[in-house]
Structure 1
Amino acid sequence: MYLSRVEIDDQNRQKVKDLTHLGAYHNWVENSFPIEIDQGKRLRHLWRIDRLHDKRFLLIVSSDKPNLDRLERYGVAGTAVTKNYQPFLEQIKNNEIMRFRLTANPTYRTNDKVYPHITVEQQKKWLLDRTNLAGFSIVKNGNGMLNFDIVNREWLVLYHHRRIRLSQVTFEGVLQVTDAEKINHTLIHGIGREKAYGMGMLTVIPIGIR
């Protein structure tokens, strides 16, 4: 597995003029793997957009290395990097405490139709209902409250046969690994729906082990 990143060149209007909806980002990601295209593969690539110090970055988790030139199509020249993700994944241990970030599409199904969760409380519960299967639990802070929050909520446009809007929610907090094998699967495959469109990627940074 590989983890890749490139800074999006938001200062270059000519470069980013096409990035007006989620489908354009999806195409950018897919076209960064020309060997897979040539071989007729349709592998799923987990990705999201992160903002750090007024800059935006595209992050990708993939089983193959992307072509860095293709990855920089809408990126700042020289900022595309790829590293082997497997050694990090293999070092994760049960009971380890880690900071996390998750960008997801919290939804529920009723009568074979899928609807977005709207309120903060619904969206938080959506995540809490999935932590056990995902291999972690949320750590409590010194006040006995669960140590996580929603740091961003927005509706993003996707043109897919028609114009639709997807709810995107970003969670940040502190987790404890309850099952290293399960959280490895989550880090590779994501959580929830719309993974092809920038949702579902969980990333973690170790703090310590209890």
Structure 2
Amino acid sequence: MHLTRFRVNSARPGARRLLSSPQSLHAAVMSSFPTVLPSDSDCPRVLWRVDHNARAEVFLYVVSPTRPDMTHLVEQAGWPAAATDPETPGWQSRPYTPFLDKLTAGTVWAFRLTANPIHFARRKDGEPTKRTAHQTSHHQQRWLIERQERSGFRIIEKPPERRLLPHGTTHQGHAHHGDQYELTVRDRRDLAFTKGSATKEAVRLVTVTYDGVLEVTDPAALRRTLTQGLGKAKAYGCGLMTLAPAATTQGRA
């Protein structure tokens, strides 16, 4: 496995076109692997995510089974002249497996995840359930909390003295997690685009980014989460969780 970071030159027209179309960016990411053909439906899972840290600081992260070649992305959305040096091709890629193998239960990490939090609901009795996006930050947060155990981690809870909401606060009859955990939900994006050049199938997604602090509870399950993704819409920049050292991390990998 490899983890790759590509800095996007947001001043270039090609970059703006890619950032405005998850379908185009997915195709560009998959074109980074010369052995993967567009018609190959059994290709290995490739996860990607765009982080908009600031207007001029946009990064593309990719987790993939093999090392990518992003020359075409440099030409479209990078700094081609600066990438002429073979030592600095315009992206950084490193083996991911050594880090994954060192994950141990009880260690604490900061994490980031962009996801498509959904549920299945019906508008009235007798109708089939329909995939529906969670609309509020409360429900979006609960979506992740409900998946933490089977995904191999536990989101750290805030100490009581740091909580702004009193213990036992409820929202529409449900326990409200808004201030219980070291977790924020931000950068909501409502995406609408067409899928495929022939069918022109309409796709609508709601994505959000989670920032928080977690404790590893099941290293094997967390490795699966980090390499296979979490939730739906993985082809469109969702599902990729990354870890970074936290102030309370017990070790380094």
TM-score scaled to structure 2, two decimals? 0.77
- Residues 58-99 of structure 1, C-alpha deviation per residue, up to 9 Å, x if partnerless? 110000111131342433233212110111111111011100
Match of 1:62 in 2: 64
- 2:222 matches 1:183: yes
Question: Of residues 151, 166, 184 in structure 2, which corresponds to 1:134?
Answer: 151
- Residues 144-171 of structure 1, C-alpha deviation per residue, up to 9 Å, x if partnerless? 6211011211112231133332101100
Question: Of residues 187, 190, 194 in structure 2, which corresponds to 1:155?
Answer: 190
> Where in structure 2 are the equivalents of 1:53-202 lying within 5 Å?
53-54=54-55, 55-77=57-79, 78=83, 79-110=90-121, 111-142=128-159, 143=162, 145-160=180-195, 161-202=200-241
Superposition deviation, residue 34 in structure 1: 1.8
- After superposition, the CA RMSD in angstroms is 2.0
* Alpha-carbon spacing, 1:196–1:15, altered in 2? closer, same or farther (3 Å): closer
Of 97-106 and 43-52, the range deviating more from structure 2: 43-52
Of 41-50 and 176-185, the range deviating more from structure 2: 41-50
In the aligned structure 1, how far is the partner of 2:77 from the partner of 2:10?
Answer: 8
Q: Give the secondary-structure state (helix, strand or coil) at the position aligned to 2:37.
A: helix
Alignment: residue pair count: 210
> Where in structure 2 are the equivalents of 1:9-28 lying within 5 Å?
9-14=9-14, 16-17=16-17, 19-28=19-28
Q: Give the secondary-structure state (helix, strand or coil) at the position aligned to 1:25.
A: helix
Aligned residue identity for 1:159: T
Greater helix proportion: 1
Give the share of equivalent positions with the same residue, in percent.
30
* Alpha-carbon spacing, 1:71–1:88, altered in 2? closer, same or farther (3 Å): farther
Check the 8 A contact 1:71/1:80 in 2, yes or no.
no
- Which structure has the larger Rg over C-alpha atoms? 2
TM-score scaled to structure 1, two decimals? 0.92
In the aligned structure 1, how far is the partner of 2:18 from the partner of 2:47?
Answer: 21
Greater strand proportion: 1
